[in-house]
Amino acid sequence: MIRFVAARAGGALAVLAAISLFVAFGIRLTGDPAVVLFQGSAPSAEDIARIRHALGTDRPFLAQYAGFVAGAVRGDLGTSFRSGQPVAGVILERAGPTLALGVGGMLVALAAAFPLGAYAATHRNALADFLIRVGSLLGLSFPNFWLAIMLILIVAVRLRWLPPSGYSGPASLVLPCVTLGVILASTLVRLVRASLLDTLGQPYMRTARAKGLREGRVVVRHGLRNALLPVVTFVGLQFGALLGGVVVLENVFAWPGLGQLALQAVTYRDYPVVQGVVVVLALAVVLVNLLVDLSYGLLNPRVRVSS
């Protein structure tokens, strides 16, 4: 077990190093932040040279990258080109809203997906099952920004129940989390249903029923627990993609999170922030994947990776 974790930790570090290198290199292919600072005017060559020197982007690539790595291991992710603030502080400040959005959305999705998926599986091919499956398809068919704008128009503008956007308290969390939750739930419902259908037909389930356990207990105790495996897999696989969807939602809801930060930083070629955000996000994804793999071993002994 220790060897397993240690090996994975080593791999994770390698992944982080590779990603930071790719990002640092890739973002420098796409335009000069010195020039971008002059948006709205026309810079002279000396203006650009002066700014490039002040930002440190006139040094060779490896020197810049080495500087970034040296700082990163100390916890110093550099200083934003645009705002002059330390990147680590900026990221910490923005992590809260994104965390709230992601976790809230996931909770909404789970709260909807498990009951609905279970109901659909246990009433297979009934009308309810059909409606739930069609409903889940609806959630998959409209882009996230469209769902978000529709919710804003209906709930915030017509009904005036909630604020349309912004990060200002529990009420403002509802619309973004529900939007994200609906989208996630659409896939999760189908996963839960499919997994439950698999499990409920297994011989050991017949045994459980034969033992006299109530159907509900059987479903929940054994069925849903086994459904956790594909759900967890899904979360692990989709975590990275989730971040992409969060970018759009944060944009529509004016949500001051990491998604917005990343988008703006890339748009304005704020290299230190881009590098810092990508490394932090990659770390999060790697950690989540590690947790998923570990839980695999716990949830399904057959899959335990032998060294």
User: Which 109-148 residues touch other proteins, going by CB under 8 A?
Assistant: 125, 134, 137-138, 140-146
- Yes or no: say if 19 and 285 are a contact pair by the CB < 8 Å rule: no
Q: Site for other proteins (CB under 8 A): which residue of 83, 123, 131, 215?
A: 83
Select from 69-77, 115-123, 211-219, 229-237 the region that touches other proteins (CB under 8 A): 229-237
DSSP code per residue over 112-150: HHHHHHHHHHHTTTSHHHHHHHHHHHHHHHS-HHHHHHH
| Closest distance of CB 233 from other proteins, Å | 7
Q: Which stretch binds other proteins (CB under 8 A): 60-68, 69-77, 115-123, 296-304?
A: 296-304
**Does position 66 bind other proteins by CB under 8 A?**
no
Which token pair is 192?
């839960």
Q: Helix or strand or coil: residue 101?
A: helix
Closest contact distance (angstroms) between CB of 211 and other proteins is 19
Both tokens assigned to 151: 């919710």
Report the nearest approach of other proteins to the CB of residue 282 (Å): 4
1 binds other proteins (CB under 8 A): no
Q: What residues numbered 197-226 form the site for other proteins, per CB under 8 A?
A: 197-198, 201
For other proteins, the closer CB: 71 or 240? 240
Helices (H) and strands (E) in the chain, counts: 13, 0
Interacting positions 169-198 with other proteins (CB under 8 A): 169-173, 187, 190, 194, 197-198
d(CA 143, CA 138): 10
Minimum distance between the CB of residue 183 and other proteins, rounded to whole angstroms?
9
Among 78, 223, 245, 272, binds other proteins (CB under 8 A): 245
Rounded-to-10 torsion of CA 105, 106, 108, 113: 140
Residues binding other proteins: number (CB under 8 A): 124
Residue 13 interacts with other proteins (CB under 8 A): yes or no: no
Tell me which residues in 87-106 interact with other proteins (CB under 8 A).
Answer: 90, 93-94, 96-101, 103-104, 106
Q: Which stretch binds other proteins (CB under 8 A): 63-71, 115-123, 153-161, 209-217?
A: 153-161
According to DSSP, residue 162 is labeled S
Rounded CA separation 165/108 (Å): 19
d(CA 120, CA 190): 9
26-65 residues near other proteins, rule: CB under 8 A:
26-27, 29-32, 35-44, 46-47, 50-51, 54-55
Q: In this structure, what token pair is assigned to residue 263?
A: 């988008």
Region of 57-65, 115-123, 164-172, 207-215 interacting with other proteins (CB under 8 A): 164-172
Place of tokens 């609905």: 116
As measured in angstroms, the least distance from the Cβ of 247 to other proteins is 5
DSSP 168-210: -SHHHHHHHHHHHHHHHHHHHHHHHHHHHHHHHTSHHHHHHHH
